[in-house]
């Protein structure tokens, strides 16, 4: 009986043996900075690449920003210090979300010309354009299809795409304008890409972190775009892009660059090739970071954007005359083919 009681007691003692998180940090400013630094150190997928490209050492940033802390600092001050530390990464997918503010670094678009005038764009669309879920489209006077897709968060159905292509099928070519598209659902990007190929196309690679080390990654896995089983576009396409094309829009541009009939025109895209994850700090603030990197078909990083096939910028003089130089260049390219 005694032995039985000992066994039962020992089993109950296991109650206290449950494993703990690796992030045993307190709610002090230092605890929160330590937690954030460790989170990025272990889970951020571009650390080695960013250290090489941007010239910082993540290990050194811990001491640099710890010096800016003091135990009595306010939440606002702590937020600023933590955001400054994250800004070193220059990644639009890295944010601290609080009730105070959204910590961000949007230098990927804010440091460059916008190359988009939405009023001008609306003039090209006119008032009788079609709306197919997130897609707006019309036929320009020179028989060129003009399609605007402002966000990959706007769902597009197969029916929407089929109806749009059927409506535009007699046009000489298509201008697909995704300037200002900051991303959204990757599945929408994939679905749209499938309408522009007749065969499987290798568009890039992806991998994910398999451990806490900076370079612990799974093997690169090829990503293929399969042709849609529905109606597909068979004529020239000019894809208009700018620095605001980010995240899923950046991935879409990567996909379209591999399609034979597509010309990418405009400015370099904003980038954002890390699939984001979310986590949090002891103070309760939410943190977003890039967790799984995407590469192009040549296994190169596209985190800082993709160069267009043809660089064109928005001409302010022409804009004053009511003309979008980028749309005009795209029309010219299609009409000359």
Partner 1 sequence: MRYLASVLSCLLTVVCSCAPVGAQALRGGPLPMLAEQTAYEPVPGRSPTARAFLLGIGRTNQLDTYLSPMEYTGTEVSFLMQSERMTKLAKRHISFQSTFQGVFTSADNPAETATYTGGRLAYDAGWHYNYSPFSNFNLKGGALIGTDLGFLYNDRNGNNPAQGRFSADVSLSAGADYSYRLGHLPMQLHYQADLPMIGLMFCPEFGESYYEISQNGVGHDIVCAHPGNALSLRQMLMMDFCLKRITLRVGYLCDIRQSNARDLKYHDVSHSFMFGIVRHFQMMKRK
Residues that bind partner 1 (CB under 8 A): 4, 8, 11-12, 14-15, 17-23, 27, 35, 39, 43, 45, 186, 206, 208-212, 216, 218, 221, 275-280, 282-286, 288, 291-292
For residue 8, the minimal CB distance to partner 1 (Å) is 6
Q: How far apart are CA 38 and CA 34, in angstroms?
A: 6
Residue closer to partner 1 (CB basis): 153 or 335: 153
Specify whether the CB–CB gap between 189 and 252 falls below 8 A. yes
The C-alpha atoms of residue 33 and residue 60 are separated, in whole angstroms, by: 13
Residue 94 or residue 148: which is nearer to partner 1 going by CB? 94
Query: Nearest approach, Cβ of 49 to partner 1 (angstroms)?
Result: 15
Given a contact cutoff of 8 angstroms between Cβ atoms, the answer to whether 291 and 231 are in contact is no
Round to whole Å and give the CA distance between 190 and 237. Answer: 17
Least distance (Å) between residue 332 CB and partner 1:
38
Q: Looking at beta carbons only, is 169 or 212 nearer to partner 1?
A: 212
Nearer Cβ to partner 1 (130/301)? 301
Closest approach, Cβ 106 to partner 1, in A, equals 18
CB of 281 to partner 1, least distance (A): 8
Nearest of 259, 240, 146, 111 to residue 196 by alpha carbon: 259
| Closest CB to partner 1 among residues 23, 106 | 23
Relative to beta strand 274-280, strand 262-266 is unpaired
| Residue closer to partner 1 (CB basis): 9 or 127 | 9
Task: Tell me how far, at minimum, the Cβ of 284 lies from partner 1, in Å.
Answer: 3
Chain position carrying tokens 């989170």: 39
Q: What are phi and psi of 17, to 5 degrees?
A: -100, 15
100 Cβ contact list (under 8 Å, min separation 6): 75, 76, 79
Using alpha carbons, list the distances in angstroms from residue 217 to 153, 154, 287, 293: 28, 31, 21, 10
């Amino acid at each position: 009986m005694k032995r039985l009681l000992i066994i039962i007691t020992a089993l109950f003692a296991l109650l206290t043996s449950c494993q703990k998180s690796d992030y045993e940090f307190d709610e002090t400013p230092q605890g929160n900075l330590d937690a954030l630094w460790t989170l990025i150190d272990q889970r951020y997928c571009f650390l080695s690449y960013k250290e090489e490209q941007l010239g910082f050492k993540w290990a050194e940033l811990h001491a640099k920003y710890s010096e800016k802390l003091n135990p009595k600092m306010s939440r606002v001050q702590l937020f600023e210090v933590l955001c400054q530390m994250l800004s070193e990464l220059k990644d639009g997918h890295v944010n601290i979300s609080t009730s105070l503010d959204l910590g961000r670094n949007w230098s990927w678009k804010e440091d460059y010309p916008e190359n988009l005038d939405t009023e001008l764009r609306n003039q090209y669309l006119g008032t009788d354009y079609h709306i197919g879920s997130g897609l707006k489209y019309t036929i320009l006077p020179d028989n060129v299809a003009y399609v605007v897709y402002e966000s990959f968060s706007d769902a597009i159905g197969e029916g929407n795409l089929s109806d749009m292509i059927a409506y535009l099928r007699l046009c000489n070519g298509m201008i697909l304008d995704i300037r200002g598209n900051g991303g959204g659902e990757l599945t929408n990007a994939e679905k749209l890409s499938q309408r522009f190929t007749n065969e499987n196309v290798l568009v890039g690679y992806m991998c994910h972190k398999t451990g806490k080390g900076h370079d612990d990654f799974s093997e690169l896995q090829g990503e293929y775009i399969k042709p849609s089983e529905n109606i597909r576009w068979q004529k020239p396409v000019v894809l208009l892009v700018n620095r605001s094309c980010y995240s899923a829009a950046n991935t879409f541009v990567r996909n379209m660059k591999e399609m034979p009939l597509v010309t990418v025109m405009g400015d370099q895209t904003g980038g954002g090739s890390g699939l984001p994850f979310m986590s949090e700090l002891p103070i309760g603030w939410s943190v977003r970071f890039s967790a799984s990197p995407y590469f192009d078909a040549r296994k190169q990083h596209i985190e800082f954007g993709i160069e267009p096939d043809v660089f064109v910028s928005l001409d302010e003089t022409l804009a004053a005359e009511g003309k979008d130089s980028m749309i005009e260049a795209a029309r010219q390219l299609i009409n000359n083919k």
